[in-house]
Amino acid sequence: MTQYFECRCGEHSESRTCVRCYSRLRGMLESLPEQYAWLHLSRQRPQSGGGDRRSSRALHAPTPGDERVLNLLGPHARQSVTDGLDQTGPVPFLGVLEAWCEVVVEERRLTAVRRDVSSMTTLLTQHLRWIAEQVWVGDFEEEIRGLLRTTRRITLTEPRRELLTGVTCPSCDGLTLVRYYPGDWAAQCVLCPSVRLNERDYQQLVQQAYQAVSAPGEV
C-alpha cells in the first residue's frame, strides 16, 4: 500500500516533499554559491588596505558598509557582532551549511567534505532526495530559505519576475510564463511546476508562436 504524506505546502504526495517543493529547494541550494560570491563583493574593504582577513582588527575596523555582511561571512562563534542590529541575528553563511552537512555526513556515514561553499552545497544537493524524506526537512528548508533571504537582501539580488508575453505554456496553454532574474531558467510556468525551459527551448517556443501568427494553420 502506498503511503501518502502531506507536504509542508499542503500538497499530498508519495514522498514527504512534493515535486514542486523539491525543485524549489534544489534551486535554492544551487543559488547559494553565487550568493556567497556576491556577499563577498558586497563587503567593504577596511580603508587601511591591509588584506589580512584573519585579523580581528580588520573585522572591527570602521565599516561604512555593512556589518550584516561581516556577520554572515564571519566565523560562527562571533555571534555578538550584530547584537541589536538585526533582530534575527542570522547564523553565518558557512555555519548553516556546515551544520546540515554534519547531519548528512553523520547519518549517512559519509566522508566529510571540505568546508567551502561549493563542496558543501554539492553534498547537500547530491543527498537532497534523502534529505527530502527526513522528518526534519522542514527545518532544513526554513534555514536555507532564511539564509538566502538574508543574503539577497544584502546583495540586492532579490529575484525579479518578468511576465513573458506572446508565448503560452506548452503544458497548460496559459499566458503564464515568467522569467526570474536572477534565475536558472529562460522561462517557467507559474502554474506548472514541471515547466522549466532553457534558452533553446524557450526560443523554439517563441519561433513556433511567431510562425503560428504569420502562417496560421501550418504549424
Q: Which of 7, 59, 97, 186 binds Zn ion (CB under 5 A)?
A: 7
Show contacts with Zn ion in window 23-82 (CB under 5 A).
none
Site string (182-201) toward Zn ion, x via CB under 5 A: -------x-xx---------
Q: Which of 58, 172, 206, 209 binds Zn ion (CB under 5 A)?
A: 172
Q: Which of 5, 11, 67, 81 binds Zn ion (CB under 5 A)?
A: 11
Task: Please state the three-class secondary structure of 157-217 as a single string.
Answer: CCCEEEECCCCCCCCCCCCCEEEEECCCCCEEECCCCCCEECHHHHHHHHHHHHHHHHCCC
Shortest CB 180 distance to Zn ion, Å: 15
213: contact with Zn ion by CB under 5 A: no
Q: Which stretch binds Zn ion (CB under 5 A): 82-90, 116-124, 132-140, 168-176?
A: 168-176
21: contact with Zn ion by CB under 5 A: yes
128: contact with Zn ion by CB under 5 A: no
124: contact with Zn ion by CB under 5 A: no
Asked if 130 and 25 count as a contact pair (C-beta separation under 8 A), the reply is no
Residues contacting Zn ion: total by CB under 5 A? 11
> Residue for cell digits 571540505?
114
- Residue whose CB is less far from Zn ion, 21 or 113: 21
CA angle 207–213–218, rounded 5-degree value: 85
Q: Give me the helices (H) in 42-92, please.
A: 56-60, 67-73
Nearest to 145 by CA among 20, 26, 9, 12: 26
Pairing type for strands 177-181 and 160-163 reads: antiparallel
- What is the C-alpha separation between 44 and 48, in angstroms, rounded? 12
Whole-angstrom CA distances from 126 to 75, 102, 119 are 25, 14, 11
Q: Give me the helices (H) in 15-156, please.
A: 19-41, 56-60, 67-73, 93-107, 117-126, 128-131, 137-155
9: contact with Zn ion by CB under 5 A: yes
Shortest CB 82 distance to Zn ion, Å: 33
- Residue whose CB is less far from Zn ion, 48 or 171: 171
Q: Which stretch binds Zn ion (CB under 5 A): 9-17, 74-82, 131-139, 155-163?
A: 9-17
Q: Which of 124, 128, 169, 205 binds Zn ion (CB under 5 A)?
A: 169
171: contact with Zn ion by CB under 5 A: yes
Return residues touching Zn ion (CB under 5 A).
7, 9, 11, 18, 21, 169, 171-172, 189, 191-192
